[in-house]
Amino acid sequence: MAKDVLVFGELRGGKVKKVIKELIAAGKIITDGNGGSIDAVLIGSGAEKEAEKIKSLGLRKIAVIDEEILANYSTEGYAGALAGMIKEEGFGYILLGATAMGRDLGPRTAAKADGVMFSDCVELRFEEGKLIARRPVYSGKLSIEIAAEGDYPVFVTIRPNNISPAETGGDSTEIVSRPSGVTQEMIRAIAKEIVPLAGGRPDVSEADVIISGGRAMKDAANFKILEDLADLFGGAVGASRAAVDARFAEQPLQVGQTGKVVNPKLYIACGISGAIQHLAGMRTSKVIVAINKDPNAPIFEKAHYGIVGDLFEIVPILTEEIKKLLN
Amino acid sequence: MKIIVLLKRVPDTEAKILINQEGTGIRKDGVKFVINTYDEYGIEEGLKLKEKLGGDSKVTVFCLGPEESTEVIRTALAMGADDAVHICDPALESPAPFTTSAVLAKAIKDEGFDIIFCGKQGIDDDTAQVQGGIAEALGIPQVNIASSFELSEDGSRALIGRRIEGGNEKIESALPVIVTCDKGINEPRYASLPGIMKAKKKEIRTRTLADLGFDEMPAAGRSKILKWLPLPKGGECRMVEAEEVSDAVKELARLLREEAKII
């Protein structure tokens, strides 16, 4: 069975996403247990320049595919390029970030390359010649450990912020340009434009700090106080399903089972009681702070720090206090 | 137009999910099962498209699942779908995602199709893999996490909005295409009483693996669940209290900096 690991370096807006260092660290878990080498591949406009940024992370080779028709992401184009490389060079393990792109590209490429796939993993280990992955199911209400059976390339998407990033060190890695073999006819669904979300804040799935509001926010305009706090950290504003259903917040902000699963360093839940489907989406946050009027709210069972009281009184004071600490 | 919608029977989002005694899966007793939340958006999008096109457009539901899935299939028929194919086979008790893809793709191919709608993922195993496998098996494009959908004026292409981190992508796709729906793309309708009555007379065609021409499980045994794990218990919550709210908040800020080292 093929031992080598291929790490997919996602480019968005011409920049390689930081999850790549976590993927390389995950790759080392495999090669430490199983031997083999780790290669990376960057596809898209600016690939060569961005490849320089991952040159000293212990990789064997960095392949760059920078062609006109692959300048921007398309499922079919990127899956074609990636599957072609996997088939030709015979990788045993392919690692991608569990981002919007990775979750779209991974399954399609795995199907194309006749592989097996584990989505959204949070932990990997190599044991008795097998890669074992842990992944949450039921939006994090439970998790499972899963392994491949048979000799197939194993595709893994890894949820950001779960594996410590690879450290810089080692010799400079060779960067090689690679033809994709992808033709225009292969790409039938094409992104015509990307409209950035208003507000300029990071997406909840990528933010290090999330300030979330629930039904107790009472009105969309009141989210301003959460935005003020979030902006101190360059963080995101999130919302519970109740707040989204009441139209206080837009759907992309929703955290929970029918929204996004998040994993920030700090999650502050303001006026969120903690319905099971909300807790499922945020419980792995490193530090959880709950602000709620009801001392019996279930959110306090999952929080690390709690304050009982009126969020409209507490949040602005907290913003001022944190501002002082940051200055 | 032949519109296909896919649905999966899953535990309700409000359900408490516990591991069974044997440690081989979840406890199903006392758990309410419903149509996968995201698939409801797919059904609604299929129905909207049929209503817009009129004529002889038809919405056919495909569901792979145990016998009990008939209930959720009837719900989709009551919402307005025309008929259904239920793939039900003891060998498909807990199929790997790509096995599901291979079986569904074969059934859909036999039926004929112009467009396929489903949810962006199952809210049970959360793999979001089945659609990619179907798209590959059918050799068609895929657009995931759709937040809007319309056909081009001449009806030859699909125009789809898609949420990505920090923005919205506008995608133009050839047909046929598989579109997976996110919350917010529409407001799924409720089944009306006349709809429920009509649904009782609509046809559900049951198919086994043998009916679909599979001699054995396709792509069988590719992955195996080794262990089911409960969540680690959360730590104790430290309640920050003081006579004055401002003092409590000040203390919280201090704890976040000095103890949690997060600020």
Judgement on whether residues B162 and B255 belong to the same structural domain of the protein: no
Look at residue B74 in the predicted model and tell me its pLDDT: 98
Interface of B with A in 57-86 (CB under 8 A): none
Domain final residue, candidates B168, B189, B207: B207
DSSP letter (8 states) at residue A173: P
Tell me the pLDDT band of B50, cut-offs 50, 70 and 90.
very high
The question of ipTM being above 0.85 is answered as yes
Q: Does A99 touch chain B (CB under 8 A)?
A: yes
Look at residue A156 in the predicted model and tell me its pLDDT: 98
Judgement on whether residues B198 and B250 belong to the same structural domain of the protein: no
All domains of chain A in start order, with CATH: 5-186 (3.40.50.620), 209-326 (3.40.50.1220)
Measure B246 CA to nearest chain A CA, in Å.
7
Judgement on whether residues B38 and B154 belong to the same structural domain of the protein: yes
Interface of B with A in 141-180 (CB under 8 A): 141-145, 147, 160, 163-174, 177
Look at residue B165 in the predicted model and tell me its pLDDT: 78
Assign residue B42 the CATH number of its domain.
3.40.50.620
Nearest residue in chain B measured CA to CA from A275: B14
Domain final residue, candidates B162, B188, B207: B207
In a domain, B173, yes or no: yes
Domain final residue, candidates B189, B207, B225: B207
Q: Does B97 touch chain A (CB under 8 A)?
A: yes
Chain B interface mutation, best of A87, A99, A142, highest count of B Cβ atoms under 10 Å? A142
In a domain, B129, yes or no: yes
In a domain, B154, yes or no: yes
Look at residue A274 in the predicted model and tell me its pLDDT: 95
Judgement on whether residues B20 and B88 belong to the same structural domain of the protein: yes
Q: What is the mean pLDDT of residues A203-223?
A: 95
Measure A117 CA to nearest chain B CA, in Å.
8
pLDDT(B73) > 70: yes
pLDDT in tens, A25-82: 999 999 999 999 999 999 999 999 999 999 999 999 999 999 999 999 999 999 999 9
Q: Which DSSP string do the residues of chain B spell out, in sequence order?
A: -EEEEEE-EEE-TTS---B-TTSSSB--TT--EEE-HHHHHHHHHHHHHHHHH-TT-EEEEEEES-GGGHHHHHHHHHHT--EEEEE--GGGSS--HHHHHHHHHHHHHHH--SEEEEESS-TTT----HHHHHHHHHT--EEEEEEEEEE-TTSSEEEEEEEETTEEEEEEEESS-EEEE-TTS--PPPPPHHHHHHHTTS-EEEE-TTTTT-SS-TTTTSEEEEEEEEPPPP---EE---SSHHHHHHHHHHHHHHTS---
Look at residue B217 in the predicted model and tell me its pLDDT: 81
Closest residue to A304, CB basis, from B141, B228, B235: B235
In a domain, B95, yes or no: yes
Tell me the pLDDT band of B219, cut-offs 50, 70 and 90.
low
In a domain, B223, yes or no: no
Judgement on whether residues B180 and B80 belong to the same structural domain of the protein: yes
Q: Which residues of B touch A149 (CB under 8 A)?
A: 221-224
pLDDT in tens, B184-211: 999 999 999 999 999 999 999 999 999 9
In a domain, B254, yes or no: yes
Tell me the pLDDT band of B220, cut-offs 50, 70 and 90.
low
A20-34, A155-169, A308-322, B68-82: least confident range: A155-169
Chain B interface mutation, best of A305, A318, A326, highest count of B Cβ atoms under 10 Å? A305
Judgement on whether residues B260 and B138 belong to the same structural domain of the protein: no
List the domain range (segments joined by +) for residue B154. 2-207
Judgement on whether residues B81 and B143 belong to the same structural domain of the protein: yes
Closest residue to A306, CB basis, from B11, B239, B263: B239
Judgement on whether residues B121 and B166 belong to the same structural domain of the protein: yes
- Closest to B234 (Cα-Cα) out of A125, A290, A65: A290
Report chain B's mean pLDDT, rounded to a whole number: 94
In a domain, B161, yes or no: yes
Closest residue to A145, CB basis, from B137, B227, B257: B227
* Proportion of chain A above pLDDT 90, given as a percent: 85
Look at residue A170 in the predicted model and tell me its pLDDT: 75
Look at residue B231 in the predicted model and tell me its pLDDT: 77
Q: Are A210 and A230 in contact (CB under 8 A)?
A: yes
Judgement on whether residues B60 and B108 belong to the same structural domain of the protein: yes
Strands (DSSP E) found in chain A = 5-9, 11-12, 15-16, 38-43, 61-65, 93-97, 116-121, 123-127, 130-137, 142-148, 154-158, 174-177, 189-196, 209-213, 236-239, 266-270, 287-292, 305-308
In a domain, B66, yes or no: yes
Q: Does B193 touch chain A (CB under 8 A)?
A: no
Q: Does A188 touch chain B (CB under 8 A)?
A: yes
How many domains does chain B divide into?
A: 2
Look at residue A90 in the predicted model and tell me its pLDDT: 95
Rounded CA-CA distance A35/A131 in Å is 12
